[in-house]
């Protein structure tokens, strides 16, 4: 078998004390002065035992679960027919998933229709949950947030895809639920989810009128009709005379009967205390053709731009701090902006931001709850198009993000993960607002630390994108030979390895080692970490002879600097043993593995995932020595530990299952071998992707076993 476990754990950090990563065959990596264990294929573990997910069928909430972004608007007009159509369509048996897609242009009221249904029908469902679903990663994030609501202890430290998989199992086991997937961009982003669910209802909102997966019926929303438009404006403003109604109709015609625009115009009239006729006169002074050109022909965006021009005129005079806040908010992702982010943690700025937020909410420029703020995408675009000088707002948005980032290591501080999850989309949004060559050094720091969190969650491609920028920024600010360049550079190398691109990691690992040796001297423990990283990359590339002396040097440094019973020594022992095995010297690896396991058990206890690493290593050596009967119980114990600590769908579980399958094959236990490799293949493809080297190795081995045992595909 091509062993898919030929990949190591990595230590990543934003700290100079441990700014590099340690590789080794699924072995712990110990950063200086952290006491943190990082094991396995892309797995970053802390010395906090994670609670196992319970059987989803046995987990029953004490009360109905409702997670909606805000209350539905009390003024809901012109959509009764659509709402009744949805209610009729969803009044069906709950044995299968029934989904409805609301499609239409931006600002037409798709999300509001979904919210109205969810509010009115909430008593029909045991669970109602709203997910912003612009990308597949956001779908997993929304499901993971539901897992954290249902089983907070188990889900707190789980990766998003693991928690999402558990939620899918829970939904299948508990029919009678409603999911809302808001603002879906591509049907493919939700097709997999719809295919895994049963027993509930799904509402999808999207601008795209395309073929949706499964049994999804489409409800197309057009602009409001004139009567409904007038009713919306008069109901919100409270101005209902004949003259007011005539002016309201004129406003609706000017705004193209777009619900979002009508709501914002009505809010302005109400807040400013003017009549609809006065507002209509102001609106007509701003020809639509000018705004259509400014908005690149986007009709809805051009409409909102006209409204913002009027609102800006008033707010600049009466509440300039609200204009400043709107400009900052326009640089974040539109949904779920944490209110704790606003003000940057400075008391007087927080109070000013809260006051400004009230002004913006009164003009329907934002939606707010006690926890989050939402600014519609069209409103964000209008704000940015009208405020030509946004440098100050962009700097403020970045400064607030920097101030809001949790202290400490993003890997080890598990309690800070919910905040990291909420900040990450806003880090990405702010980064997109900076053009190449104009990004500040602070952005590099924010991207590096956020990327470390993403690596801990298994989101390697997002982390890779951030770190590519972070390295460029630090190099531009400090020069390519500054020691601090090694911090994001080592993390970037980690993502190359995580993505199965070891050849691209190699030159980066060499450069990190050179920078670290120059800064700290040749005998520093951090240099040992760098040596381990570089050596493991050589080993992954099939160059174990070049890896061996580097692993030996790393072991010597750690024993001299930290003592023979330090966990870093266990790491080095496991790394060196792996190289011996790769070179056909398994007999020399055996005592190293036995010693490494003893050190790990003494330091961590018998049920820690770091011990599972040592068990897997030792079992692999027994297997290489032709002693599968002695390897089997060690693999089985390692599997039990990792399933309890990491969940049943973690990539590390797939690795051990692959090794277990090979051991069962050697013992002639065909059925167990096939079952184990089949499960390993499924876990790896879901967690790592079909093109990942680990997945491909498991697929090839599974095909080999099926041929060997004459089993069907």
* pLDDT at residue 642 in the model: 87
Residue 163 pLDDT greater than 60, yes or no: yes
Shared domain for 190 and 328, answered yes or no, is no
Higher pLDDT, 703 or 292: 703
Residue 664 pLDDT greater than 80, yes or no: yes
Confidence band for 95, pLDDT divided at 50, 70 and 90: low
Question: What mean pLDDT do residues 101-114 have?
Answer: 90
% of the chain at pLDDT higher than 70: 90
Shared domain for 492 and 595, answered yes or no, is yes
**Residue 529 and residue 21 in contact, taking contact as beta carbons nearer than 8 Å:** yes
Confidence band for 470, pLDDT divided at 50, 70 and 90: very high
Does residue 691 lie in a domain region? Answer: no
Domain of residue 556 covers 16-46+485-625
C-alpha–C-alpha distance, residues 53 and 152, integer Å: 10
* pLDDT at residue 687 in the model: 74
Shared domain for 65 and 213, answered yes or no, is yes
Question: What mean pLDDT do residues 318-330 have?
Answer: 93
Q: Are strands 98-103 and 216-220 parallel, antiparallel or unpaired?
A: parallel
Question: What mean pLDDT do residues 410-433 have?
Answer: 89
C-alpha–C-alpha distance, residues 330 and 384, integer Å: 7
Domain end position, chosen among 590, 625, 660: 625
User: Tokens for 104?
Assistant: 């239409």
Residue 467 pLDDT greater than 70, yes or no: yes
C-alpha–C-alpha distance, residues 497 and 393, integer Å: 37
Report which DSSP code applies to 72.
P
Backbone torsions φ then ψ of 295, nearest 5 degrees? -95, 20
C-alpha–C-alpha distance, residues 76 and 491, integer Å: 50
Report which DSSP code applies to 108.
S
Question: What mean pLDDT do residues 151-162 have?
Answer: 78
| Residues across the chain | 713
* pLDDT at residue 620 in the model: 92
* pLDDT at residue 8 in the model: 39
Higher pLDDT, 216 or 453: 453
* pLDDT at residue 26 in the model: 34
Average pLDDT, the chain: 85
Residue 13 pLDDT greater than 60, yes or no: no
CATH code of residue 371: 1.10.10
**Residue 353 and residue 388 in contact, taking contact as beta carbons nearer than 8 Å:** no
H/E run at residue 114: helix 110-120
H/E run at residue 475: helix 460-478
* pLDDT at residue 47 in the model: 30
Q: Which of 604, 605, 576, 603 is nearest to 591 (CA)?
A: 576
Q: Which residues pair with 367 in a beta bridge?
A: 374
Does residue 119 lie in a domain region? Answer: yes
Q: Which of 484, 534, 539 is nearest to 513 (CA)?
A: 534
C-alpha–C-alpha distance, residues 450 and 503, integer Å: 25
Does residue 361 lie in a domain region? Answer: yes
Shared domain for 126 and 98, answered yes or no, is yes
Higher pLDDT, 633 or 411: 633
Residues 6+ apart with CB under 8 A from 468: 492
C-alpha–C-alpha distance, residues 554 and 478, integer Å: 29
* pLDDT at residue 522 in the model: 94
pLDDT, tens only, 178-193: 999 999 988 888 888 8
* pLDDT at residue 686 in the model: 79
Rg (CA), the chain: 29
Confidence band for 287, pLDDT divided at 50, 70 and 90: confident
Shared domain for 102 and 203, answered yes or no, is yes
pLDDT, tens only, 31-65: 222 222 233 333 323 233 345 788 888 888 888 99
* pLDDT at residue 713 in the model: 61
Higher pLDDT, 117 or 30: 117
CATH code of residue 74: 3.40.50.300
Domain end position, chosen among 220, 241, 263: 220
Cα 557 to Cα 525, 551, 560: the distances in Å are 6, 10, 5
Does residue 252 lie in a domain region? Answer: no
C-alpha–C-alpha distance, residues 623 and 313, integer Å: 76
Shared domain for 22 and 112, answered yes or no, is no
Decide: helix, strand or coil at residue 371: coil
C-alpha–C-alpha distance, residues 379 and 247, integer Å: 24
Shared domain for 401 and 497, answered yes or no, is no
* pLDDT at residue 293 in the model: 54
Helix axes 567-582, 544-562, angle to 10 degrees: 160
Cα 35 to Cα 24, 25, 29, 529: the distances in Å are 17, 19, 10, 14
C-alpha–C-alpha distance, residues 598 and 605, integer Å: 10
Question: What mean pLDDT do residues 55-79 have?
Answer: 90
Beta strand extents in 299-363 (DSSP E only): 337-338
pLDDT, tens only, 507-541: 999 999 999 999 999 999 999 999 999 999 999 89
* pLDDT at residue 17 in the model: 34
Does residue 81 lie in a domain region? Answer: yes
C-alpha–C-alpha distance, residues 364 and 367, integer Å: 7
C-alpha–C-alpha distance, residues 146 and 193, integer Å: 14
Does residue 148 lie in a domain region? Answer: yes
CATH code of residue 513: 1.25.40.10
Question: What mean pLDDT do residues 600-624 have?
Answer: 90
Residue 297 pLDDT greater than 70, yes or no: no
* pLDDT at residue 625 in the model: 93
* pLDDT at residue 22 in the model: 35
DSSP 392-436: HHHHHHHHHHHHHSPSS-TTT-GGGHHHHHHHHHHHHHHHHTSPT
Domain end position, chosen among 602, 625, 648: 625
pLDDT, tens only, 352-380: 999 999 999 998 889 888 899 999 888 89
Shared domain for 25 and 109, answered yes or no, is no
Which segments of 197-275 does DSSP mark as H helices, in order? 226-237, 242-254, 259-272
pLDDT-wise least confident of 32-41, 141-150, 318-327: 32-41
Does residue 9 lie in a domain region? Answer: no
User: Tokens for 172?
Assistant: 């299948």
Shared domain for 185 and 60, answered yes or no, is yes
Domain count, the chain: 3
* pLDDT at residue 328 in the model: 96
Does residue 189 lie in a domain region? Answer: yes
Q: Which residues pair with 420 in a beta bridge?
A: none
Question: What mean pLDDT do residues 167-174 have?
Answer: 92
DSSP 592-609: HHHHHHHHHHHHH-TTSH
Shared domain for 161 and 295, answered yes or no, is no
Shared domain for 353 and 292, answered yes or no, is yes
* pLDDT at residue 195 in the model: 86
* pLDDT at residue 435 in the model: 85
pLDDT, tens only, 388-413: 667 899 999 999 999 999 998 887 67
C-alpha–C-alpha distance, residues 308 and 302, integer Å: 10
Residue 29 pLDDT greater than 90, yes or no: no
C-alpha–C-alpha distance, residues 479 and 424, integer Å: 28
* pLDDT at residue 208 in the model: 83
* pLDDT at residue 692 in the model: 76
Shared domain for 202 and 63, answered yes or no, is yes
Beta strand extents in 327-371 (DSSP E only): 337-338, 367-368
């Amino acid at each position: 078998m091509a062993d898919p476990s030929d990949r190591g754990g990595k230590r990543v950090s934003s700290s100079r004390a441990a700014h590099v990563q340690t590789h080794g065959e699924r072995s712990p990596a110990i950063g200086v002065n952290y006491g943190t264990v990082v094991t396995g294929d892309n797995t970053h573990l802390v010395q906090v035992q994670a609670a196992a997910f319970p059987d989803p069928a046995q987990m029953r909430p004490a009360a109905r679960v409702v997670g909606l972004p805000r209350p539905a608007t009390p003024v809901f007009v012109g959509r009764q027919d659509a709402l009744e159509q949805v209610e009729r369509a969803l009044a069906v048996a709950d044995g299968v998933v029934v989904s409805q897609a609301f499609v239409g242009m931006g600002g037409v009221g798709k999300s509001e229709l979904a919210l109205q249904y969810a509010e009115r029908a909430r008593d029909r469902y045991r669970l109602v949950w709203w997910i912003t679903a612009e990308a597949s990663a956001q779908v997993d994030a929304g499901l993971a947030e539901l897992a954290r609501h249902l089983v907070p202890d188990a889900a707190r430290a789980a990766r998003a895809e693991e928690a999402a998989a558990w939620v899918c199992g829970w939904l299948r086991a508990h029919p009678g639920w409603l999911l809302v997937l808001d603002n879906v961009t591509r049907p493919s982003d939700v097709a997999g989810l719809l295919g895994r669910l049963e027993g509930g209802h799904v509402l999808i909102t999207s601008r795209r009128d395309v073929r949706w997966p499964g049994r999804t019926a489409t409800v197309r929303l057009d602009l409001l009709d004139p009567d409904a438009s007038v009713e919306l404006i008069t109901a919100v403003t409270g101005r209902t005379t004949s003259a007011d109604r005539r002016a309201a109709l004129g406003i609706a015609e000017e705004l193209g009967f777009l619900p979002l625009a009508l709501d914002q115009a009505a809010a302005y009239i109400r807040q400013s205390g003017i009549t609809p006729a006065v507002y209509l006169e102001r609106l007509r002074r701003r020809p639509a053709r000018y705004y259509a050109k400014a908005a690149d022909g986007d009709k809805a965006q051009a409409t909102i731009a006209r409204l913002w021009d009027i609102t800006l005129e008033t707010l600049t005079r009466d509440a300039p701090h609200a204009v400043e806040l709107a400009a900052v908010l326009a640089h974040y992702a539109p949904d779920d902006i944490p209110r704790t982010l606003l003000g940057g943690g400075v008391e007087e700025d927080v109070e000013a931001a809260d006051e400004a937020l009230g002004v913006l909410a009164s003009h329907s420029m934002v939606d707010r709850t006690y926890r989050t703020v939402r600014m519609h995408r069209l409103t964000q675009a209008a704000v940015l198009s009208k405020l030509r000088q946004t440098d100050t707002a962009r700097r403020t948005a970045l400064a607030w993000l920097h101030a809001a980032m949790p202290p400490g290591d993003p890997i080890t501080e598990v309690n800070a993960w919910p905040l990291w999850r909420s900040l990450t989309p806003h880090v990405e949004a702010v980064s997109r607002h900076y053009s190449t060559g104009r990004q500040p050094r602070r952005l590099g720091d924010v991207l590096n630390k956020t990327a470390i969190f993403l690596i801990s969650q298994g989101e390697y491609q997002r982390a890779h994108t951030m770190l590519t920028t972070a390295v460029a920024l630090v190099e531009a600010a400090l020069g390519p030979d500054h020691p601090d360049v090694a911090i994001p550079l080592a993390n970037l190398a980690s993502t190359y390895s995580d993505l199965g691109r070891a050849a691209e990691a190699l030159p980066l690992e060499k450069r990190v080692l050179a920078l670290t040796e120059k800064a700290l001297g040749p005998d520093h423990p951090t240099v040992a970490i760098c040596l381990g990283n570089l050596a493991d990359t050589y080993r992954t590339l099939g160059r174990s002879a070049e890896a061996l002396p580097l692993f030996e040097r790393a072991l010597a440094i750690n024993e001299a600097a930290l003592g023979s019973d330090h966990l870093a020594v266990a790491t080095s022992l496991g790394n060196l043993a792996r190289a011996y095995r790769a070179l056909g010297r398994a007999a020399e690896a055996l005592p190293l593995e036995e010693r490494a396991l003893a050190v790990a058990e003494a330091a961590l206890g018998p049920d820690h995932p770091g011990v599972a690493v040592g068990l897997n290593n030792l079992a692999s050596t027994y297997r290489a020595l032709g002693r599968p009967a002695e390897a089997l119980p060690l693999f089985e114990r390692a599997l039990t530990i990792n399933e309890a600590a990491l969940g049943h769908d973690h990539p590390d579980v797939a690795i051990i299952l692959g090794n277990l399958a090979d051991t069962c094959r050697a013992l002639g236990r065909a059925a167990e071998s096939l079952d184990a490799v089949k499960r390993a293949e499924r876990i790896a493809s879901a967690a790592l992707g079909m093109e990942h080297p680990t997945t491909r190795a498991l697929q090839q081995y599974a095909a080999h076993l099926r041929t060997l045992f004459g089993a069907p595909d």
